[in-house]
Amino acid sequence: MRYRILIAACLVIAALAACNTKEGAQEEPNKAPKVEFSVKETALDVLVESSVGFNATIVEGKNVKCSWTVDGELVASTPSLTWVFNNLGEVIISFEAENELGKVRQDYTVNVAGLPLDVTYSVEEDVIQAVIGTPVSVSVTVNDGDRETVHAWLLDGEDAGSGLAFSKTFEEEGIGTHTLAYHGRNMYGMTASKTWSVEVADLPLEVDYSPSKTELEAMVGDNVNFTVSIVHGAIGASTVWKLDDVQVEVEDPSKYTYTGEAEGTHTISVTITNAAGESDSRSWTLTVVPKTEKTLLFDNFESAEVGVNAYYIGNNVGGVSILQTVENPYKTDANSSDKVLVDKGSMMTNTSSGYFKFKIDKYPDGTTAITADDRALYTRFRCKVYIGSTGFTPLLQEDNKSTKSTPSEINGIPFNTTSPTLDAWNAAIKTNDWNVFVYDFTNPKYSSEVNNLSQTNQLQFRVFVDFNNNGKAGQDVYFDDFEFLE
């Protein structure tokens, strides 16, 4: 094994200079070498990359030859040596001082250890608390010994990446206790490691309830549906429903339906408790009143243009809207209102395009909201329509849906929406008066999610789709009194 001498100090020892005597003086007799060493211990422990200075002082003897060897290889012929230890393991450093009268030898056994890997961790605690959806992050800072260091991370014994940082966001399936381990190793085989216990919990219990209102009213015979949806914290959750403080059994713990059998006020409550011991509850006060027809008047068009401009969307012809509020041109006993809505089909060249939409998330005053819970109380829509002799059949549909339907009731007469016929239509319709149309959103013509209006906030009238139009030019159709029925 060869070693590189980084520093070799050549010192001329005063003892050697003493070999010269003053002129004319009596020359002292030579002696065998006698040496004093600066490093007394003969067994040394050092770190790799460190250096040690060895100094041998010749205190007696003339014509002394000095030599230093490292593992038997001559590296210097001077009294002193400074040696840098660049390799691990045991190294033997020997010194000899010799003249014709004798020899002195000193051996040093040097154990060279690796440079320690000194690191600190961003999380010093042994336990890390976490919740799902939030990252668990740990990083390492190397303070010393960073020589070609390899950093490895293990999560539950499996490879979790390399580098100075670890980060993972645990989802619901990760709830529980995990073991995170770091291991660093430098080129000298020196290591640093740490293990954490990562305890991942669910988010705090969070529940959505329906209805959102807590003060409710229903009529005798009505079904009122209550639901709970656990957003977070569902592990080990149990649900208890009560009616007037008496627990009731349900097939599906997320739902309870109350049927108002008699007039009176009742309290419906639900409590959810999860495995973590967290609880959440909600109660509703339900007043059951006598059975009457519940109606919601949406628009009677007596309030000038505000509804048309803000809530009714129709075609424009030459920059003029086909929808306008006008004086009622056909005042009869069936409808004596002063103002009505006109769909000016006479302006249209393509009769199939004379449709319009209207929003039902607010009243046409633009400020009062009609919530989904409000709309959920109603399953039918009623309006008055003056068709005259146009022969057109107004169809109603949820906006952006392909399904549409004729009225289920015309002027109090049931109408077959599944297989409508022209004869049945002509028998029920009035061409010289206002017609009362009722559209039933529970019939199969509509998608199931629309049947109580809670899932849609916009309806559409297809005015000029008919039984017997046969290419007739568009004609005006008038509307009034838009209202919803239970």
Q: Over the stretch 166-188, which tens digit does the pLDDT of each residue have?
A: 999 999 889 999 999 999 999 99
Min mean pLDDT across 82-86, 136-140, 325-329 is at 325-329
Which whole number is the average pLDDT over 416-427? 85
Which whole number is the average pLDDT over 251-258? 93
Q: What distances in angstroms separate CA 388 from CA 331, 367, 420, 429, 475, one per listed residue?
A: 13, 35, 20, 10, 9
Which whole number is the average pLDDT over 28-57? 95
Q: Over the stretch 440-475, which tens digit does the pLDDT of each residue have?
A: 888 776 766 566 677 778 888 776 555 655 555 567
pLDDT of 52 over the 70 cut: yes
- For position 369, what pLDDT does the model report? 84
CA distance 247 to 243: 6
pLDDT of 20 over the 70 cut: no
- On whether the CB atoms of residues 192 and 146 are closer than 8 A, the answer is no
pLDDT band at 42 (very low <50, low <70, confident <90, very high): very high
| pLDDT greater at residue 397 or residue 264 | 264
Which whole number is the average pLDDT over 276-298? 87
- For position 286, what pLDDT does the model report? 94
Which whole number is the average pLDDT over 379-398? 81
Q: Per the structure block, which two tokens stand in for 455?
A: 């899932």
- For position 472, what pLDDT does the model report? 58
- For position 18, what pLDDT does the model report? 33
- For position 466, what pLDDT does the model report? 58
Q: DSSP for 158-184?
A: EEEEESSEEEEE--GGG-EEEEEEEEE
Determine how β-strand 51-60 pairs with β-strand 73-76.
unpaired
Which whole number is the average pLDDT over 283-304? 82
Q: Which of 100-104, 169-173, 356-360 has the highest mean pLDDT?
A: 100-104
Q: In this structure, how many other beta carbons lie within 10 angstroms of the beta carbon of residue 170?
A: 19
- For position 11, what pLDDT does the model report? 31
pLDDT of 313 over the 70 cut: yes
The one-character DSSP state at 366 is S
- For position 215, what pLDDT does the model report? 93
pLDDT of 356 over the 50 cut: yes
Domains and CATH numbers, the chain: 14-113 (2.60.40.10), 118-201 (2.60.40.10), 206-289 (2.60.40.10), 295-485 (2.60.120.260)
- On whether the CB atoms of residues 412 and 382 are closer than 8 A, the answer is no
- For position 370, what pLDDT does the model report? 84
- For position 471, what pLDDT does the model report? 54
Determine how β-strand 279-289 pairs with β-strand 215-219.
parallel
CA distance 471 to 166: 72
- For position 188, what pLDDT does the model report? 94
pLDDT of 7 over the 80 cut: no
- For position 372, what pLDDT does the model report? 83
Q: In this structure, how many other beta carbons lie within 10 angstroms of the beta carbon of residue 8?
A: 14
The one-character DSSP state at 335 is B
Q: In this structure, how many other beta carbons lie within 10 angstroms of the beta carbon of residue 367?
A: 7
Mean pLDDT for the chain?
Answer: 85
- For position 6, what pLDDT does the model report? 34
Min mean pLDDT across 32-36, 157-161, 374-378 is at 374-378
Q: Over the stretch 262-271, which tens digit does the pLDDT of each residue have?
A: 889 999 999 9
| pLDDT greater at residue 297 or residue 434 | 434
Q: Which of 80-84, 318-322, 459-463 has the highest mean pLDDT?
A: 80-84
Q: Over the stretch 112-122, which tens digit does the pLDDT of each residue have?
A: 999 999 999 99
Which whole number is the average pLDDT over 368-373? 83
> In terms of pTM, does the model score above 0.85?
no
